[in-house]
Amino acid sequence: MWRKPLDADEFEAPKGKVYIIDERCKGCGFCVEFCPRNVLEESEKFNSKGYHPPDVANPDDCVHCELCELICPEFAIFVLDEKEEKERRKKRQKKAKGTKKAKGKKTSKKKSGKKGKKKGKKKGKKEGKK
Ligand code: SF4
Ligand code: SF4
């Protein structure tokens, strides 16, 4: 770290979780260059445009300053704090459970609907025979 407050040991710095959308990146390197904690580094991988998106090399060092997010010209990088990250995970899990339940209900309705129609047809046939 290039500078450190005198009471740094008394406080715990916030932690951030970095997300990179590789396909949006144009490999300018701003985020790598200006991250104050050297969290990011240039990678060897390519995206479909032929650019090198950064890698999160030191994820534990991120202090959620959001400089990378602000500086990225392509909106290809964003950072969540730990609380936001937990909430996001919970929302995802709820959504996933919700869609599973909804799918289950739809299929059961379809089945019952078909049965109803069949019964109706049978009745009609019987009535016709009489
Ligand atoms: S939020 Fe700050 S510390 Fe974390 S990766 Fe971005 S620039 Fe670096
Ligand atoms: S600042 Fe954005 S576009 Fe530039 S290298 Fe980082 S993620 Fe890619």
Q: Which ligand is nearest the CA of 72, by number?
A: 2
pLDDT in the model for residue 124: 46
Annotation: CATH topology of 15-86: Alpha-Beta Plaits (3.30.70)
Which pLDDT score is estimated for 128?
46
pLDDT attached to residue 33: 97
Beta carbon of 57 within 6 Å of any ligand 1 atom: no
In the chain (130 residues long), the average pLDDT of successive 10-residue segments reads 83 91 97 96 96 96 95 96 81 86 63 49 47
Torsion angles phi and psi, residue 116, rounded to 5: -60, -45
Ligand nearest the Cα of residue 32 is: 2
What span, in angstroms and rounded, lies between the C-alpha atoms of 109 and 46?
47
- The finding on whether 56 has its CB within 6 A of some atom of ligand 1 is no
**pLDDT number for residue 12:** 86
Q: Ligand 2 center to residue 31 CA distance, Å? A: 6
Torsion-angle region of residue 129: left (phi > 0), alpha (psi -120 to 50) or beta?
Answer: alpha
53 pocket-lining for ligand 2 (C-beta < 6 Å): yes
- Say if pTM beats, i.e. exceeds, 0.85: no
Residue among 125, 103, 105, 123 nearest 115 (CA):
123
